[in-house]
Amino acid sequence: MGNRSKQIAAIFLCFFAVLGSIQAGSLPDFTELVERNAPAVVNISTVSHGKQGYHQFHTPENMPIPENSPFNDLFRRFFDEEGKGEMPPEDSESLGSGFIISKDGYVLTNHHVVDGADEVIVRLSNRKSYEARVVGSDEASDIALLKIDADDLPAVRIGNSKNLKIGAWVLAIGSPFGFDATVTAGIVSAKGRSLPSENYVPYIQTDVAINPGNSGGPLFNLDGEVVGINSQIFSRSGGFMGLSFAIPIELAMNVVDQLRKDGHVTRGYLGVLIQDVDRNLAETFGMSRPQGALVARVIKDSPAAKGGLRVGDVILMFNDQLLRNSSQLPPLVGTMAVGEDARLKVLRNGKEIELTVRIAELPSEEAQEQPEEAAAPDAAKSNRLGLVFSELTAEERKKLELSNDEGVRVEEVHEGPAASAGVDPGDVVLMVDGRKISSLAQLQQIIKAVPKGKTVAMLLLKPQGPVFVALRAPD
């Protein structure tokens, strides 16, 4: 090799060495963070005597296993239709994680880790084990507070997830599959995620590797502060797929404070049923873009009713916080103190107004009766939307909890705008284009008067509750 070739090779070697050092320097070093915080992370094992047991780990939806998979029989044995690992009805054990939040022995974990357990054992990193007492547990937020009889324990530092930025590095410590003190890292993928059947937790989404046994473990930021509690994964296979969800630590600590003080959790209550505003509905309300929470129902005698909220209102802001979608509202309401006043900015009939609503306590159980289907007489002819209607009887209105002059039933849905929008036979039309529907004749007149090509909002009472849909009148 000539001198010139040697010089070129040397230049390339120097270039790649510098590039490697730059790349290495840009990645975080977690060693000090782990050394300082790992002793405060604990392994939690539970025993249930003679009860149906489960592998304690949450998944937001079912996990279908391909029929031809060699693991099909195995997963059918260990995972039921709700995504929980079913065990024989005898003494059963499960594993999870947790972390010490105070030197006098308070430990934080998930509700689903200790739910139904007769014994809860907390094992520290130094291998010492303690039988824990469940101070309190809250299913809605999936938070449980434990207490062990020990002093001068290592405790984590509590941070604030509100300061997290999308793309920031985070780290988890836990016991996946029973492997104690396992460390995994990743980035924040999103914030304020809403999951199915989870109304009160705005989850932190990460790509940190989380598996069964990580539940209840801490999620740290680079400052070594706990910013979340690892709780759920989204998986179609039962294993990690890059979608992990953590409970924001400030929400968890609010629950902890209530559990320590009262032994239970109270939540704020507004008294509305809401839905998202999609592109078509935004057009009907004269909005430049979809945003906010559309009020589909106002519960009678609720704070919302007393505060002046109406069906068809779009809540744009709650206590000065802009609502991008409806899922942001329940956590904001739920974390408010009972008796506190909430400030709402609402879009009504194309104009923004401000309301003040005094928050009440969420009832322990809200009766949600399903309306019964009933045959209706004398259906009218199909209209330009492809719908056939019929009047409701007084008895039907009573069953549906409607007033004496409210609602018209959908009898048939033919091909047309209504079918495309999701209108179904049996739905009850409550409102069209901001006007309350009191009779079949009035409804037919409103539909007839809708200009060609105009999109209007129709409020339907479906078996699952009231829902707005957007209908475009045919040209």
pLDDT digits over 221-232, tens only? 999 999 999 998
Cα 63 from Cα 235, distance rounded (Å): 6
From the list 48, 92, 215, 302, the catalytic residue is 215
Read off the pLDDT of residues 148-166 as tens digits, 9 standing for 90 and up. 999 999 999 999 999 999 9
Is there a catalytic annotation at residue 112? Answer: yes
The answer as to whether 374 is a domain residue is: no
Whether the pLDDT of residue 60 is over 60: the answer is: no
Q: Are 385 and 447 in contact (CB under 8 A)?
A: yes
DSSP H or E stretch at residue 399: helix 394-399
pLDDT at 113: 94
301 given a catalytic annotation: no
Residue 91 sits in the same domain as residue 219: yes
Question: Is 142 marked active-site?
Answer: yes
Q: What is the tally of structural domains in the chain?
A: 3
**Interstrand relation of 106-109 and 143-147 (parallel, antiparallel or unpaired):** antiparallel
Among 51-55, 91-95, 216-220, which range has the highest average pLDDT?
A: 216-220
Question: Catalytic residue among 94, 112, 137, 189, which?
Answer: 112
Query: Is 21 inside a domain boundary?
Result: no
CATH code assigned at 39: 2.40.10.120
Examine the pLDDT at 24 and tell me if it is beyond 70. no
- Token readout for 118 is 């007769």
Residue 134 lies in a domain: yes
Measuring CA to CA, which residue among 199, 212, 197 is closest to residue 244? 212
The catalytically annotated residue of 48, 94, 141, 142 is: 142
The pLDDT of residue 420: 84
pTM score over 0.95? no
Q: Which of 205, 231, 262 is the last residue of a domain?
A: 262
Report yes or no on 67 lying in a domain.
yes
One domain for residues 160 and 51? yes
CA dist 125 and 474 (Å) reads: 69
412 lies in which domain range? 387-472
Q: CA-to-CA distance for 36 and 122, rounded, in angstroms?
A: 20
CATH number at residue 456: 2.30.42.10
